[in-house]
Amino acid sequence: MAVEIKSTLEGTQKEIQQGKAYLVDFNKMKSVNDLVLIISALGITFPAEHPLIENLKPFLNLDNPIDLQPQPKKAEFIPLDKEDLQNRIFNKEK
Identify the pLDDT of residue 82. Answer: 79
CA separation (Å) from 12 to 5, 7, 16, 20, 58? 7, 4, 13, 20, 42
Tell whether 87 is covered by a domain. Answer: no
Per residue in 6-46, pLDDT (tens digit) is 656 666 778 999 999 999 999 999 999 999 999 999 999 99
Domain coverage including residue 51? 9-63
Tell whether 26 is covered by a domain. Answer: yes
Domain count, the chain: 1
Nearest to 38 by CA among 52, 53, 23: 23
Tell whether 69 is covered by a domain. Answer: no
pLDDT confidence bin for 78, thresholds 50/70/90: confident
The amino acid that residue 42 corresponds to is L
What's this model's pTM, rounded to 2 decimal places?
0.52
Distance in Å from the first CA to the final CA of the chain:
51
pLDDT surpassing 60 at residue 94: no
